[in-house]
Chain A
Amino acid sequence: MDLNMGKYAFFVWGSYGVTALALLSLTVLSVRAHRERARKLRALQETLAAEKAQKVDA
């Protein structure tokens, strides 16, 4: 495997670099948004369940 791209290094590595950066950013943002939304929903469901339990006790 030869990683020396000679006079085309800027164009080849630039393409691979931009691709890696864009796809990694998209992946991180998608996973982070999913986790954040799941966490918020769980917190809201727990609040509602606690309120319901309080009413039953009362």
Chain B
Amino acid sequence: MIISWLANPERFSKVFAPVRPWVAGLSLVLFVWGLYLCFVSPEDYQQGDTVRIMYIHVPAAWMALFTYLVMGVASFFGLIFRHALADAAAKAAAPIGAVFTALALITGSLWGKPMWGTWWEWDGRMTSVLVLFLFYIGYIALHASIEDEQRAARSTAILALIGLINLPIIKFSVDWWNTLHQGASVFRPGGPTVAPAMLWPLLMMALAYKALFVWLWLIRIDTEILSRKYNGLRARLGFREGGA
């Protein structure tokens, strides 16, 4: 009920415009607090100071998956109900997800070199995350290459839905294949295996990343709404001038 009420782009902009500064403020506070915890937490007895990379690598990886899920759900609604706001929501999420995925890959590589002795390994987890990054890039490129908005929305929605298959592959890759990457240590049956002194900074940074995503997503959806309104007005103006 509330989703269909908010599906009106004008109403969506009006409702979320006053919310955005609060989310931005929340994200900033969480980042400052989280970063403080990152550097006062103890170093790991085996990994030394490289454990601090975990506090930015793991939330980036979580957000890479979460953002794609958001994009997939929005694409599904866009494809079924053909609603412009659903496409705007999916399109707005793609660059944010691509950045989080790139960060997961880069920081993972910077963590892997001192700990595993290699920048990269074609194992299940790393390869499937690279595939996720390629899905994001493919989605952005496909949307940019099709001029007709409705055709672009349909084609990219299908691509986004196909890419959803990759999410369980990423999640369970460490269980299905013998990989260099470690298994789940937070969201696992039996609870987290990370020590509380390291779990708190990790969760705080995860919340900061989540708040940043929400803020950027709302801004980018609103940018899409403004763009479509602008293009619509220009088209009407062109039609009137042409028809006169």
Instruction: Give A residues with C-beta under 8 Å from B.
Output: 1-3, 5-6, 8, 11-12, 14-16, 18-19, 22-23, 26-27, 30-31, 33-34, 37-38, 40-41, 44-45, 48
Contacts and interface: CB of A to CB of B under 8 A. Distances in A.
Contacts of A41: 226, 229-230, 233
A43 B48 CA distance: 56
A26 B107 contact: no
Contacts, number: 82
A27 to B, nearest CB: 7
30 contacts: A6-B48, A8-B49, A8-B50, A8-B114, A11-B50, A11-B110, A11-B111, A12-B50, A12-B52, A12-B53, A14-B110, A15-B53, A15-B57, A15-B106, A15-B107, A16-B52, A18-B110, A19-B103, A22-B99, A23-B99, A23-B103, A26-B99, A30-B216, A30-B219, A30-B220, A31-B219, A37-B230, A41-B229, A44-B230, A45-B233
Contact of B233 (A2, A16, A33, A44): A44
B142 interface: no
A26 B49 contact: no
Contacts of A11: 50, 53, 110-111, 113-114
A40 B103 contact: no
Contact of A34 (B36, B50, B222, B237): B222
A48 B99 contact: no
A48 B233 contact: yes
Contacts of B111: 11, 15
A19 B233 CA distance: 39
B39 interface: yes
